[in-house]
Amino acid sequence: MTARIAIVEDEPELAALVADYARAAGYAADTYADGAVALDALRRAPPALVVLDLMLPGLDGLALCRALRADAAPALAELPVVMVTARVEEIDRLLGLDAGADDYLCKPFSPRELMARIRAILRRAQRASPAAPAAPTVDVDPAARRIAVHGAPLDLTPTEYGILAALARRPGQVFSRAQLLDLAREGNANLDATDRAIDSHVKNLRRKLDAVLPGVEAIHSIYGLGYRFDL
Ligand code: CA
């Protein structure tokens, strides 16, 4: 789904420029030149983020931001806001007033910089969202030679530990059987295994992982190459 950005800015050229950059970055964009009109529109259909000019006709950026923060609807109270001001001293004042914006930019700003900040805020917002299921965490403890999934330690043989530690440290990277064998030998010098034996260790690892992550395929077979870890 395309995230929608609202741009509240009474300088038409700047509003159009920011909207162009937002669309080029893959967002939908709506522009509003009046603070009161914007607040009304935001209430009717909350966007993913607001770029908010401070000095506006109708309702200024500070009042608009406070109205959002005071709203009973979480989609408005927690709506990410990037406040834009014409004077750098204004940012200090806004920070002092606890205006409630997530970020501040001073004009003239680079639209690229603005897009980078928008991306960062939306990423953070997504991570913090309770609706998004938490990704399984896999912790490798090399000192204890233990691996825990969601905090629960797996019961692994030394060879299984070596293989899973190697895979889990580089998610997404494909390892050949020979590479995994070499990596499993690190700190486990008397390991007696062959390339093909890796397959049976992987089979056992999958069974143990499935017990803690049912239905999640963590170790992927890459035909002709080897294995890759990905959750
Ligand atoms: Ca303005």
pLDDT at 93: 80
Mean pLDDT over residues 179-195, rounded? 75
pTM above 0.75, yes or no: no
Question: 37 CA to middle of ligand 1, Å?
Answer: 14
SS3 102: coil
pLDDT at 83: 94
State the Cα–Cα distance between residues 9 and 37, nearest whole angstrom: 11
Question: 11 CA to middle of ligand 1, Å?
Answer: 6
Of residues 6 and 217, the one with the higher pLDDT is 6
Residue 14 one-letter amino acid: L
Question: 75 CA to middle of ligand 1, Å?
Answer: 25
SS3 206: helix
CA atoms within 13 A on the CB side of 163: 30
Question: 70 CA to middle of ligand 1, Å?
Answer: 23
Mean pLDDT over residues 70-87, rounded? 92
Question: 64 CA to middle of ligand 1, Å?
Answer: 13
Question: 50 CA to middle of ligand 1, Å?
Answer: 15
Residue 193: pLDDT band by 50, 70, 90 thresholds?
low
Q: Which helix (H) or strand (E) holds 219?
A: strand 219-222
Question: 213 CA to middle of ligand 1, Å?
Answer: 52
The packing angle between helices 61-69 and 35-44, to 10°, is 20
Question: 196 CA to middle of ligand 1, Å?
Answer: 68
Question: 145 CA to middle of ligand 1, Å?
Answer: 59
Which sequence spans correspond to the domains of the chain? 4-128, 138-229
* pLDDT at residue 128 is higher than 90: no
- Annotation: CATH topology of 4-128: Rossmann fold (3.40.50)
Question: 52 CA to middle of ligand 1, Å?
Answer: 9
Mean pLDDT over residues 4-30, rounded? 96
Local structure of residue 73 (DSSP, 8 states): S
Mean pLDDT over residues 152-165, rounded? 90
Question: 105 CA to middle of ligand 1, Å?
Answer: 13
Residue 138: pLDDT band by 50, 70, 90 thresholds?
confident
CA atoms within 13 A on the CB side of 157: 14
**Percent of the chain at pLDDT above 70?**
92
pLDDT at 136: 65
pLDDT at 17: 96
Question: 10 CA to middle of ligand 1, Å?
Answer: 5
pLDDT at 182: 84
Q: Across the chain, what does the average pLDDT equal? A: 88
Residue 190's Cβ-count burial label (10 Å; 0-12, 13-18, 19+) is exposed
Of residues 158 and 224, the one with the higher pLDDT is 158
Q: Does domain 138-229 have CATH number 1.10.10.10?
A: yes
Neighbours of ion ligand 1 (CB under 5 A): 10, 53, 55
Question: 7 CA to middle of ligand 1, Å?
Answer: 12
Question: 136 CA to middle of ligand 1, Å?
Answer: 45
Of residues 198 and 224, the one with the higher pLDDT is 198
* Structure confidence by residue, pLDDT tens digits, 43-66: 999 999 999 999 999 999 999 999
pLDDT at 189: 67
* Structure confidence by residue, pLDDT tens digits, 92-114: 788 777 888 988 999 999 999 99
